[in-house]
Amino acid sequence: MTFRPCAIVPSHNHWTAAGQVVAGLRAAGLPVFVIDDGSPEPARAVLGALHDPEHGVTVFRLDVNQGKGGAVKQGFRLAAGQGFSHAVQVDADGQHDMAALPRLLEAAGQHPEALISGQPLFDGSIPTGRKIGRWITHVWVWVETLSLALPDSMCGFRVYPLAATTGLLTTERVGQRMDFDTEIMVRLFWRGTPVVMIPVRVTYPPGNTSNFAMMRDNWRITCMHTRLVLTMLVRFPSILGRRRPSLAPSRHWASMSERGLYWGLRFCAEAYRRLGRRGCLAIMAPIVLYFFATGRDQRRASAAFLARAFAAGGAPRRPSLLDGFRHFHSFSARALDTFITWVSGRPPGGMIRADGGILDVATADPRGALFIVSHLGNAELIRAQLDPEVRDRLTVLVHTRHAEHYNRVLCEFRPEAAVNTLQVTEVGPETAIMLKEQVDRGRWVVIAGDRTPVGGGQRVSRVPFLGSEASFSQGPYILAALLDCPVYLLFCLRDGKDHRLYAEKFADRIVLPRRDREGALQDWAERYARRLEHHALKAPLQWYNFFDFWAAPC
| HSE value, Cβ hemisphere, 13 Å, CA-based, for 244 | 18
Segments in 155-295 forming alpha helices (H): 162-171, 180-190, 214-234, 236-242, 261-294
Q: What is the pLDDT of residue 140?
A: 83
User: Homologous superfamily of 5-242 in CATH?
Assistant: Spore Coat Polysaccharide Biosynthesis Protein SpsA; Chain A (3.90.550.10)
- Say how far apart CA 242 and CA 168 lie, in whole Å: 15
Q: Is the alpha carbon torsion for 391, 446, 479, 535 positive or negative?
A: positive
Which residues pair with residue 446 across a beta bridge?
Answer: 371, 396
Residue 301 has a pLDDT of: 95
DSSP state of 541: G
What b/e readout covers 539-548, taking b as 16+ CB neighbours within 10 angstroms?
bbbbbbbbbb
Q: For residue 9, what is the enclosing H or E element?
A: strand 5-11
Phi and psi at residue 202, to the nearest 5°: -130, 130
Identify the CA nearest to 449 among candidates 423, 408, 478: 478
What is the structure's pLDDT at 257?
47
DSSP letters spanning 467-487: TEEEEEESHHHHHHHHHTS-E
| Predicted pLDDT at 210 | 60
Spell out the domain ranges in the chain: 5-242, 250-554
Q: What pLDDT was estimated at residue 248?
A: 47
Q: Are 321 and 364 in contact (CB under 8 A)?
A: no
User: What is residue 232's predicted lDDT score, i.e. its pLDDT?
Assistant: 83
With CA atoms as reference, report the closest residue to 178 among 52, 369, 12, 328.
Answer: 12
CA 498 to chain CA centroid, Å, is 31
User: Shortest CA distance to 525 belongs to which of 335, 372, 366, 309?
Assistant: 372
Q: For the chain, which ranges sit under pLDDT 70?
A: 1, 124, 127-130, 205-215, 236-271, 273, 399-419, 421, 423-428, 453-458, 553-554
C-alpha 69/C-alpha 75 separation (Å) is 10
Whole-number Å distance between alpha carbons of 176 and 368: 66
Cα angle, residue 174 at apex, residues 263 and 287 outer, rounded to 5°: 25
